[in-house]
Amino acid sequence: MAELITNILMALALGAVGLFALQWVYKVLEKRENATGTPGERQTRLKIILRVTRNLLQVLVISIVLMMILNEAGVNIAPLLASAGVVGLALSLGAQTLIKDFLGGIFILAENQFSVGDYLTLGEVSGAVERITLRATYLRDSEGRLHLVPNGDIRTVTNQTNQWAQVVISLNVDFEADIQQVVGALEEAARAVQADAEVADDLIEAPRTLGWTGFSDWAVQVQIIVKTRPGRQWAVGRAVRRAMLDAFQRADVRVAIPRQRIVAAGGPEETEAEEQVN
């Protein structure tokens, strides 16, 4: 009896030492992470991963201690292990979606795939990231709707605010337009954007003006391309559009409008007319 009590106490002592060691390692790693000055969002991610790892190891230590105590008490733990395996299998099958979400969340946090504040497209849903948990990512779209996307369902991520962004603004001009006059108007618009106090600090590079970049059956396309700070491409895009239209008006360059040619036949002379396509 004394030997049994001694063995149980030793198992409890080993378990207590294991739990204390886990807590000590967690505190050391947490202090080291706080001292490194890691950005807040990344620090939060690392703390979540450390906490989850600590909790899993604590459950493992407690389970081992309980098995040791039962074994010392003369309980045959083989059926318990078999039953635990069956129960674990049933739970894993029933909660496989939840497990998939948690694993996806761990990889998102560990790999720093995106952060709070990033503007993402996840499948058919787009919006700014408001919150990231182990189970789901929360997106707020431009209409204020909050979308909950399970992490296990995330397969393709389009991040529009990572490191830098680019604005491509296109306008259509008539085939008869003077290319030199059009390019001059584009360069004037680019200079106006660089001088705009509201967006000048958001530009990473000077705007690039392009001549003919494409054409359709009714117009020729011209473009301005601007590289911007992440998340500022929309404000810069509005400034570029405004500057392009102002420059075109000053240079008397007409923006092309789709038109349809109508030919009236049946008489000795055919007549032609054009009408605007709305």
Start-end of CATH 1.10.287 domains in the chain: 2-94
Residue 178 · residue 238 · CB < 8 Å = no
CA distances 12 to 56, 57, 156, 208, Å, are: 19, 16, 47, 71
**The pLDDT of residue 275:** 52
Class of CATH domain 113-159: mainly beta
Query: Minimum mean pLDDT among 91-95, 137-141, 169-173, 257-261: which range?
Result: 91-95
Residue 138: band (very low, low, confident or very high) from pLDDT cuts 50, 70, 90: very high
Average pLDDT over residues 89-107: 77
Residues 6+ apart with CB under 8 A from 116: 41, 129, 130, 131, 132
Start-end of CATH 3.30.70.100 domains in the chain: 165-250
pTM of the predicted protein model: 0.65
Residue 90: band (very low, low, confident or very high) from pLDDT cuts 50, 70, 90: low
* β-strand partners of 149: 137
Tens-digit pLDDT profile for residues 203-236:
999 999 987 888 888 889 999 999 999 989 999 9
Q: Which two tokens stand for residue 117?
A: 């504040």
Residue 116: band (very low, low, confident or very high) from pLDDT cuts 50, 70, 90: confident
Start-end of CATH 2.30.30.60 domains in the chain: 113-159
CATH number corresponding to 165-250: 3.30.70.100
**CA-based end-to-end distance of the chain:** 96
Sign, Cα dihedral of 204, 209, 215, 218: positive
Fold of 2-94: Helix Hairpins (1.10.287)
Residue 169 · residue 235 · CB < 8 Å = no
Pick 72 or 130 by higher pLDDT. 130
